Structure 1
Amino acid sequence: MNDNSHQSSHDHRRLGRELGLFDTDPLIGAGLPYWLPDGAVVRHTLEEYIRGEERRAGYRHVYSPVLGKRELYEISGHWSHYSEDMFPPMELGAEQVVLRPSLCPHHAVIYRSRSHSYRELPLRMAELGDMYRSELSGVLGGLTRVRAIHLNDAHIFCTLDQVAEEARAALEMIRRAYDALGISPARYRLSLPGPGGKYVAAPELWRRSTALLTEVLDGSGLPYEAAEGEAAFYGPKIDVQVADGAGRESTLSTVQIDFHQPERFDLHYIGADGAKHRPVMVHRSVIGSVERAVALLIEKHGGAFPAWLAPTQLVVLPVSEAQSPDAVSFARRCTERGLRAEIAGPESGTLGARVREARLVPYQAVIGAKEAADDRVALRLRDGRRLDPQPAGEVVDRVASVVDAHSTGPL
């Protein structure tokens, strides 16, 4: 399928620029998009949503540097198995530092920095962190393939008998997030190693990891297929595949079981017997990279995002200049309630023209002379429905309840 087939009305590369969400500049470079204000709102809202979901699921958040010494990635195995996808090392005095291609080595070091008891496990460590991959310019495109990736990543350090439940819980988090985002998986894939030397040579660890992931998938009742050559270099993974507007597949979410890095970094916890034991590391990403997630959302919704994600959630439309003070007052009530509200006054054109201009905004609150006199607003929904005038306070409550619930419904 050639690239031209993807130039549909919902192609995120075209629509994202038209809607003022993101853009690129040759002076910054290929695969390095920048976010415009409305796009930054979508990104920030998505990040806050997943942080909240993680907090409720018992994750603790950390920050770690985007650079690391070359030695860090030699220990993790990235240098020997993944260096062709990494940026070249930078000389820093007598040392070499590297832009990280993933977050897991940093999280392994953070875990190692403190002693841990079996009573603390599972220890769930999450970060929305940047990582960098030296993608060739020919495969870069919009937000789906970039060189600077903002990843929703997490690593769960747990005992062997906790692994299956943690992986199952990660799959359930992914399901809930997809419901809130209004997207669906194209398929689930059990990604296994293929021939060649890019995988860690540890047959027993691969066997144990694959058996655990197969158990989780079989227990979930989800249909899945195995794919050789798609595993991470250190272990198998469950990949949740999504499709763009042209039907092209990519991985958004992952769950991985890793016996390799806990061994490489000599991670341990003190068991009930007082002895040292090796934890298992579960890697999981619920919404994957923020860039790829937003690209998918643009294409899925055509810019008409669910209300909780929309850059502007409610636009206030005073019929005439006389209602402008009422519009300002109502917009302020919305803002104080945490909603993103804007005013489109008569100076912007006729009421019909303003309604058309705001067609992607989930809610349009019309205030005419009668509504202003009664402290009411007439709500129009994005699907074209018009509701009878309602008390302004009730409208704010109803819209806020939809947004707070991360609902994909209108009201």
Structure 2
Amino acid sequence: MSQSRPPVADPTPRVVVPAGTTAGAAVREAGLPGKGADAVVVVRDAEGQLRDLSWTPSADAAVEPVAANTPDGRAVIRHSCAHVLAQAVQQQFPEAKLGIGPPVRDGFYYDFDVERPFTPEDLRALEKRMKQIIKSSQRFSRRVLDSVEAAKAELKDEPFKLELVDLKSDVDTDEVMEVGGGELTVYDNLDPRSGDRIWGDLCRGPHLPTTKHIPAFALTRVAAAYWRGSEQNPQLQRIYGTAWESQEELDAYSERVAEAERRDHRKLGAELDLFSFPDELGSGLPVFHPKGGIIRREMENYSRRRHEESGYDFVNTPHITKGGLFHTSGHLPYYAETMFPPLSFEGEDYYLKAMNCPMHHLIFRSRGRSYRELPLRLFEFGAVYRYEKSGVVHGLTRARGFTMDDSHIYCTQEQAPGELRSLLAFVLDLLSDYGLSDFYLELSTRGDTGKFIGSDEEWAEATETLRQAAVDSGLELVPDPGGAAYYGPKISVQAKDAIGRSWQMSTIQVDFNHPKRFGLQYTAADGSRQQPVVLHRALFGSIERFFGVLTEHYAGAFPAWLAPVQVVGIPIADEHVEHLEQVAKALRERRVRVEVDTSDDRMQKKIRNHTTQKVPFMLLAGGKDVEAGAVSFRFRDGSQINGVPVDRAVELITEWIAGRENTSPSAESVRVEH
């Protein structure tokens, strides 16, 4: 298990920008690069604000140069590219009205109101026009608008921009961040020779010095998007793109995207006959086929065994409850928008269960509890249902019906720190058993909005308890302000998969509020009645989501201990079938999942079929193998070991599976010799 992230590089040295001098001039005077992947594209001032290189401070200012190949530098490149896209769209489609165009992870988008949806041919034409704009080296120039009235006059033909101007005073509105917060600013694209204004957009910036500082970009796709994310608003056309500090980085990103598409669990789920999403059931409601059911069962069985060994008690709770339970817990109204509408009968509103914790609290409260019972660890594979919006549902990783591997630990306040440390170690160890090993932690804390319940003192204590447990783990801890659950702070375990993507796995939360709301108590050693601390924990997040993550992590080539078919026997001819059936019988007695391919296909086609189905062990048998009482191993990577005695082959396979090896077996890794 990786215990740390890569070391953080030394901070970039600061540069002093003399009063009346541009930041760009100071950067050049300092000898910092102006071209290439490490070119300085903006600077960060003493308050942490990013500034254009054309920025001129009124007093000497120490700034931090920001290079193109940093997260902030890439964001500036992408936002500048979004402006180039918008310019190209309005040149190509003069009737187009502008929405917003922010940078996002690995790229950018821009929303447009146009008469018809964009086509692939439109994207190709827009890319060509964008390249012309970039090559012309237009200069990005910041201009402050004198007043709201001046902004409205200038933007009279842009209805969506006018709406943003009206929102200027609403400091909680995300769109205001796009237009400058405290002041309204426009970025003009100027002709490099004449200085004439070619195009402009309402925006807070910052931007690159010129369009020519966009080294590499690509438009990727088009989607429909509602203005400001509300279905009550007009539907716009959203063009997505990506931009990078070099062509090499763009090419590397494109390969990562292609590899992610090859690993897409929805595609592999169909190809490997693991699961499906029947239209008759509704969006986000998967069914698992027999092969997928085997993998799921093995995942659950191993987790169940590990929980039993660690002192958890298994419980079960219903799928539906009276609404009053969720009012007591606070999920109504705090969580109502992600719950399915109520079902009304017998004079009551019933809700599909969106979370298991309130029912676990009722189990704790069902009788008197003694301090001698604590910590009490309740565990359930509990089915829950959440109303995810249509645009958010994504295969198994964002479903509407799923099974949480949910546990709630009831302990004393003194037990909580030690319980958190052991809980975090348990989580990381179990995730490692499934083949994930590169972790970091995210600490989600209380924000300034009114969605959080409980006192400041309780939150401070819970947050510090979690923070210390995270620090004790030795893993990198990344802050997530405002990301806590409404009832308490949480730690999220982030795991990297085989191609470097981060996935949120386990969450651990400290809760002082639910015990109070549910009147949870235990009898302390001195006979007094005390309130327990509740630790919420979902290890996989959900079985479905973890299944999807593992499918993509392994590209469908599951470890042998999880594979639905662990061994397939492939006879060269019909007369060799009986020999392989005897081998299969010996393997089944060892509880190995094995099949013998007796189809009419030729041997080479059988090998291709089962390699495509990602079977970890293929056993081939011909006349010489039958005579010698042996089989030949064939592996997923095409490697082979010939003439292995049957008893030894059975032993090798069962040992490999029992050892829960997470790599694929091969001729190099499987040792035939005793």
TM over 0.5: yes
Gap regions ≥5 residues in structure 2? 1-106, 110-219, 222-256
Of 620, 632, 655, the match for 1:401: 655
For structure 1, the residue ranges without an aligned partner over 5 or more in a row are none
| Aligned residues of 1:189 and 1:238 also touching (Cα < 8 A) | yes
Aligned residues: 410
Q: CA offsets per residue over residues 76-106 of structure 1, 9 Å max, x none?
A: 1111211111111111201121111110001
Equivalences for residues 239-388 of structure 1 within 5 A: 239-242=492-495, 249-345=502-598, 347-359=599-611, 360-388=614-642
Do the aligned partners of 1:319 and 1:366 also contact (CA within 8 Å) in 2?
A: yes
Taking only aligned residues, the RMSD between alpha carbons, in angstroms, comes to 2.0
Pick from 38, 53, 64 the counterpart of residue 306 of structure 2.
Answer: 53
The aligned amino acid for 1:402 is W
Q: What is the 5 A alignment of 1:127-166?
A: 127-166=380-419
Is the Cα–Cα contact under 8 Å of residues 188 and 223 in structure 1 kept in the other structure?
Answer: yes
Percent identical pairs in the alignment equals 37
Q: Deviations over 1:361-408 (max 9, x none)?
A: 111111222322333222223233322433323322322222223221
Contact 2:356 2:382 in 1 (8 A): yes
Larger radius of gyration: 2
Equivalent residue for 2:315? 62
Q: Give, in angstroms, the shift of residue 245 of structure 1.
A: 8.5
Q: Retained in 1: the 8 A contact 2:442–2:478? A: yes
Supply the AA of the counterpart residue of 1:296.
Answer: V
Deviation for aligned residue 1:230: 1.4
Instruction: Give the direction of change, closer, same or farther, for the CA distance of 1:348–1:214 in structure 2 (3 Å limit).
Output: farther
Partner of 2:197: none
Distance 1:348 1:12 in 2: 31
Structure 1, residues 325-351: CA drift from partner, whole Å, max 9, x if none? 121121122222111111113x34222
Instruction: Tell me how far apart the structure 2 counterparts of residues 59 and 161 of structure 1 sit (CA, whole Å).
Output: 20
Q: Map 1:139-218 onto structure 2 (within 5 A).
A: 139-185=392-438, 187-218=440-471
Deviates more, 1:157-166 or 1:305-314: 157-166
Find the aligned partners of 2:299 and 2:440 in 1 and give their Cα distance. 23
Which residue in 2 is equivalent to 1:114?
A: 367
C-alpha separation between the residues in 1 aligned to 2:588 and 2:511?
45
How far did residue 288 of structure 1 move?
Answer: 1.7
User: Residue 553 of structure 2 aligns to which amino acid in structure 1?
Assistant: K
Deviation digits for residues 44-74 of structure 1 (CA, Å, limit 9, x no counterpart): 1111111111111111111111111111111
1 or 2, which has the higher helix percentage? 1
SS of the residue corresponding to residue 582 of structure 2 reads helix
For residues 527 and 647 of structure 2, what CA distance do their matches in structure 1 show? 60
Structure 1 distance, partners of 2:649, 2:532, is 51
Q: Does 1:234 align with 2:487?
A: yes
For residue 216 of structure 1, give the secondary structure of its aligned residue in structure 2.
Answer: helix
- Counterpart position of 2:268: 15
- SS of the residue corresponding to residue 161 of structure 1 reads coil
- Tell me the amino acid that sits aligned with residue 316 of structure 2: Y
TM-score, normalised on structure 2?
0.58
Moved more, 182-191 or 302-311: 182-191
1-structure distance, mates of 2:292, 2:567: 17
Q: Distance in 1 between matches of 2:534 and 2:575?
A: 63
Q: 1:348 to 1:126 in 2, by over 3 A?
A: farther
Partner of 2:91: none
Instruction: Summarize the Cα distance change of 1:24–1:14 in structure 2 as closer, same or farther, 3 Å threshold.
Output: same
Displacement of 1:250 after TM fit? Answer: 4.4
SS at match of 1:157: strand
Confirm or deny: 8 A CA contact 2:498 2:554 kept in the other structure: no
For 1:83, which of 322, 329, 336 is the aligned residue?
336
**Higher relative contact order (CA closer than 8 Å, sequence separation 6+):** 1
Indicate conservation of the 8 Å contact 2:499/2:553, yes or no.
no
C-alpha distance in structure 2 between counterparts of 1:57 and 1:315, whole Å: 36
